[in-house]
Structure 1
Amino acid sequence: MSRPTFRFAPSPNGRLHLGHAFSALLNERMAREAGGRFLLRIEDIDQPRCTDELTQAMLADLAWLGLAWEEPVLRQSAHLARYHAAQQRLRDAGLLYPCFCSRRDIALKAAAHETRDPEGQPVYPGTCRQLSQDEREARLARALPHAWRIVMDDAVARIGEPLSFSEESSGEVVHERACPEAWGDVVLARKDIGTSYHIAVVVDDARQAITHVVRGRDLFQATSIHLVLQQLLALPTLRYFHHGLIDDARGRKLSKSLGSRSLRDLRAEGVTPQDVRRALGF
């Protein structure tokens, strides 16, 4: 039986805040209580936004909190070939297609498309899925910018059975039914970075022998996509714990994009690691 293995996997595209601290501390505590391993993974596939300066600042923040993790730390930017290989397997299986739509194209089509995904965004209407093979090859030969999308209905049909996952956040194991079809043909390789969070996370969870994924409730719905990829790529299924999010004074979840106060800001104000732990229930 595999030793319980947990991971904290932030993206260094901004400063860590209390929400990150809660998730990191929860992963470490659950790993310790299970007699398992606690790993740190740097999810920096978005290299234009994920800088080395932010990575080093993130490591310093986590060390300041008193966290320790196994070395070496996996940095996704050093393993892009693994994600490309996984995408190629799906292309070879006939489950991916190139999407040449611009953001504007998608926005215009979406305006007349009522279906929304679990995050409230318009589901891609499948414009490029309708292209003939000759047209696809012609556009690829002209090196037109493109993403790669999965044909979700075909992928689900290929699996041929209902998908579910074990969710433990309620204090007991609940078998949650997955609904990947609700996402439509999601992007598995972005135009700008050549891969995606979805592909990278399932490949790395398998590579690192992760057994328990402990992450924010905002990623609960994405688990359906990950289950599909795990099945198609013959990767292990995991156990999940989607914890609640830390809100700001206005009831909004803490976010880098909102400029939420960072751990660095708190440290500059004289807040100690013990203060943070107490405030977060650790």
Structure 2
Amino acid sequence: PISKHQQYRNDFGSGWDIILPNEWAQIFWISLVYSGARPIGQKELSLVAHETGEFQFPQEYPDTDAGIDWTSKIESEQLTYFSKCPPSKRPNFFLNGIASPFRPLWSNIVRDWAVEYDTSNTVINSHRFYVLRDRHRLSLDNLRQHLHSLVPIRISIKGKKGIIDNTTLIYLPTMDDLKDNKKTIVESRHSDRARIEERKMKKTKQSYQKGKTMVKLIEQRANNSEQAIIHDCNRKLLGAITSGAFQFSKACCTGKGFIAMGGLLTLLQQQQQKNEKKQSQRVLIRTIKSQYYRWASLEF
């Protein structure tokens, strides 16, 4: 049986899914290659998914067990690489207000925005959430019924400044930011939690290894699902990008990710206050290594 593969964004990467018996796979594979088909790997498949705007499984399905395992694996690999770097070559994420640089804390973000948007909402599952993938439910009348969910979004930058990568975070602009969107927005310098912790250990004459304290604090923060996170920086955290790069079909940097439903409702309320009728919303983005915010367009 053969089924047509439907694409959401454009026709790039469209084709057919061929389902074959196990013993037929090699024969068809060789025949297709000899006929001119070009086999690709996971890297090329990710590039095709980025151009089409499709979300990949499992890395972009954070509400599934496979997605959680994938995120934990990537976090472990990046944390191991980070710990092996010399202390002078490690970026100090704490100075930029980034508590968990290697994994978006989705459960914390969803819970914080559910409380922020509706203070009377007391029954909140802080560990499990869901992604609202049904586009027919993404209407203003139905959004308020899904405060414990994430919304798939797409981000794009039309200007010359700013980049979008897999470490980009999405923030909510203030009303002052929207009034003067040409000014440079910079995150204030935060305290170095690792150095403060090392000074405490030195004062109490405890042994420690310089540079390892930051790794320990990052691990502790990633495992803490109860602590609030959206107010860690000067701008409220909406969500994060799971896949970002330059998109050749649009000639600009784009990204795919998720934001909390409560944050999206707050963003829409800002638009209503300004009496703007735009299909895309303006948000602030920032990579984990930068203190500078950049403007971007958000679509959901």
If the TM-score is normalised by the length of the shorter chain, which range does it land in? under 0.3
Q: What's the TM-score once normalised by structure 1's chain length? A: 0.24
Give the number of the structure whose residues are more often helix, by fraction.
1
Greater Rg over alpha carbons, structure: 2
Structure ranking higher in strand proportion? 2
